[in-house]
Structure 1
């Protein structure tokens, strides 16, 4: 870090993508504005390896390591400290059977911890891109809008109802997954083969949203956003492309070589890979929804992704509220006791704040705790007996907007441990966590248990509490109820974990 307080903070991000590795170096001023100093990109056929053979070959691993070594020279030139460098890989990396070996090799080559981009990162970016479009188009903002993102290995769909998230889902349908499947076909056959390859997933997606009233279909993604202006000039921050225009443009591209695409569309070589598959997939999806026009936002999706990852600030309040609302919709789907869940979430949030100096966790963990509180009894939908285990299963296997698989694992385990059973190293899913993640589960589960006990009767009879700590006791003062025997008995029976973690015995008293 710079010792000169007047000098902007130097930051850098390395993104190991589907077809290239990118290095972005810049400075962040006190207002949080980022100024780019250097931008480097080197080709790397990572997606080709993953979707062709399921493994990353040794030549590609060595090529990636060499690129990272070269990037280190640039970082040294700009005197960017190691602590200010973040390194991410595309989420398709997880599909390679040797991805752990690859990650370890990259860490050894660069000295940086390399993290796979998760679904939470991607949905956050798609959400931000959508919000920019909605702000510039009031008519779309007040309508029902389907957002589709065709990524390297997966497709995501978000349904906005009057500017708010209503539904979210993802599918195993991606540009490079499709590209490798039709790699041996001629350019004349390519479009028909792509249609055949993707038909099943496109039908599945369309069926999932068949009951949704859709006024606008918005397509986002690196490929379609890079060429949208060539198809239809943008108006109010977006290109409005008819299906006939998209079809004609895609057919023309299918006959071009990579060199021609680069020359005519001013793309780089990595940007031309998968372009035809991306456009044809968007076209197939638009046809399936009987769209008249496809709306494509202005902007560079890949650049936006990198800047989004570089921004270390926590998620916006609005985005967190969207995630909470998505969790509530899941709870509604499985008929949970909504009032109880919200009440437990309220107490959890208050106790989390009271213990901030002890647990040292951040707002993201607070969000996961609140969601766990909302969904902790979701397993009652299956059976009251061992419902905590059913809650674990349902949360693990239910997509929630804005949350990654690792986020859902933490939430599922909190629901699993909201009763009197403590985390055990032999328990499935918990055993797979890192040491730090296990500590997070311990800290949050202890809070959730106390909060749950405060609404033991599911009647919300204790409406407000005040927490305070004295010596080895956590006092929970309430003015609502004189007799809190039921709640105190519940605390005594299941909150031993709280004492183990925080060193305080919870005690209810009437203020």
Structure 2
């Protein structure tokens, strides 16, 4: 049994694009963490994935050996297994044998290994930006575009006065570019080839945000943040770098050998592989936006990322508000009935809270339910007929800020099942879920259906409800509304799964 002191230590291991990192931290009484140890060992994961589409056997064995070494270190710090998280970079999903890699690491380290996806990375980039905004009031109160060039993807977040205005992701990354130029030899040829490779995506990103006209352009990422202090001394939490300064530095970096890069930037050898394409991509973006100055947050991107994963609550009220607002922007794009959607979301949240002891779901699921309520009628944009199926398609293929691919799938299925058609093993997207996620969809769909029925007329005539359980009946009282015949008929027609899951008949009545 763990001692109280042991419960105050925690750790996180991440298999990144070029290395495996371990952060060991101690938890203070106020819930914050302070670093006890930080270790990093090189692993050419991205090189394998973008060069061959798989993780090779030697790299997999190297990763397993590193994990075993890190587990030994954790034993010295007496970190209990319950306080250890083990994660992999989101680019691992592009390897055809990624499930084999995850299983191999689980066996080697006797620990569950999670795959970070694009939604998770976006949240972490958002948190990095929020820290910068807090340390720099001018940027916080301005019109700010944030660009993150990752190993496989580029993300853009547009803030106005500290709140998310738009978000998008692009298939442009450091190691996609690096492997594409692997045969180019000299520095000049490499820089020219990189620029050619990235031009299309850079132009698309610039076009998407052509109306933004940002006052500040913030650049985030492992490579640019490691280089920035060498170009301009940080102030107010960031380095402010001119385009000419970055051009000069990038040219000097491109001409260096791997040994020189290791000495100058304090990188391991696999880490040097992405530095030139990373700097060149950031430079291309800055030129395309005609930036005078690039703002690069102070700090170690990788280390800060691990600390955020360890200590942050991903569902802070501000973050939830950003996710809901992003969903509203999607709903607006597809011309949904805004008042109806918000009304359904309000009732769904109330019923979710009232049934907490029965469904045992958490705050994340409550957020997904509210997002699904906002988006459940997006399919009407295509056609009222079978609009639930159109909603499924639209949500599955639309990025929503703060939602992972798995989250989007759950939200899409809730929209798919908000009508009377029940989940079936024959439905492709539903059948591919884990048993746990299938049950989550059924539990939440049952709630969404009841909430939708309460505004069957789309007139918001039922303004308030009081919820009671009387025997085997779930009573929904509707103060101020005497005739709920229309709503009760809707409940009777499509709330069979509510009865099956929660064991209650649903009855509407006036108090």
Which range, TM-score by smaller chain?
over 0.9
- SS in structure 1 opposite 2:431? coil
Task: Map 1:421-440 to 2 at 5 A.
Answer: 421-440=421-440
Partner of 1:446: 446
1:149 maps to what in 2? Answer: 148
Distance 1:383 1:120, change over 3 A: same
Alignment of 1:100-499 (within 5 A): 100-186=99-185, 187-311=187-311, 313-499=313-499
Q: Secondary structure at the match of 2:267?
A: coil
Alpha-carbon distance in 2 for matches of 1:89, 1:434: 20
Partners of 1:258 and 1:199 lie apart in 2 by 26
Q: Once structures 1 and 2 are overlaid, which stretch shifts more, 476-485 or 341-350?
A: 476-485
- Tell me, in whole angstroms, the C-alpha distance in 2 between the residues paired with 1:21 and 1:235: 30
Give how far 1:265 is off.
2.7
Structure 2 counterpart SS, 1:159? strand
- Structure 1: how far apart are the matches of 2:257 and 2:227? 16
**1:354-410, Cα deviation, whole Å (9 max, x unpaired):** 000111111110000000000000000000000000000000001111111111000
What is the TM-score when the length of structure 1 is the normalising length?
0.98
Aligned-residue offset at 1:52: 0.3
| Residue 55 (structure 1) aligns with | 54
Distance 2:140 2:427 in 1: 46
CA separation in 1, counterparts of 2:118 and 2:470?
A: 42
Alignment match, 2:89: 90
Asked if 1 retains the 8 angstrom alpha-carbon contact of 2:6 and 2:78, the reply is no
Report how many aligned residue pairs link the two structures: 510
Q: Any gaps of 5 or more consecutive residues in structure 2? A: none
Q: Which moved more, 1:372-381 or 1:302-311?
A: 302-311
Q: The residue matched to 1:283 in structure 2 has which SS? A: helix
Unaligned runs of 5+ in 1: none
Aligned partners of 2:7 and 2:83 also within 8 Å: no
Which moved further from structure 2: 274-283 or 140-149? 140-149
Q: Offset of 1:264 from its aligned partner?
A: 2.0
Give the deviation of 1:307 after TM superposition: 1.0
Scaled by the length of structure 2, the TM-score of the pair is 0.98
Cα contact 1:320–1:367 (8 A) shared by 2:
yes
Instruction: Check the 8 A contact 1:327/1:371 in 2, yes or no.
Output: yes
> Distance in 1 between the 2:322 and 2:119 partners?
12
Measure, in 1, the Cα distance between the counterparts of 2:485 and 2:314.
40
Quick one: structure 1 residues 266 and 314, their matched pair in 2 at CA, closer, same or farther if it must change by over 3 Å? closer
Secondary structure (helix, strand or coil) at the match of 2:172 reads coil
Larger mean CA deviation between 22-31 and 89-98 belongs to 22-31
1:219–1:295 CA contact under 8 A, matched in 2: yes
What is the CA–CA distance in structure 1 between the aligned matches of 2:117 and 2:31, rounded to whole Å?
Answer: 24
For residues 396-427 of structure 1, the C-alpha deviation after alignment (integer angstroms, 9 at most, x for no partner) is: 00111111111100000000000001111110
The alpha carbon displacement at 1:175 in A equals: 0.5
Per-residue CA distance 1:188-207 (angstroms, 9 max, x = gap): 31111100111111111111
Q: CA deviation at 1:270?
A: 4.2
Partner of 1:80: 79
Give distance in 1, aligned partners of 2:214 and 2:79.
47
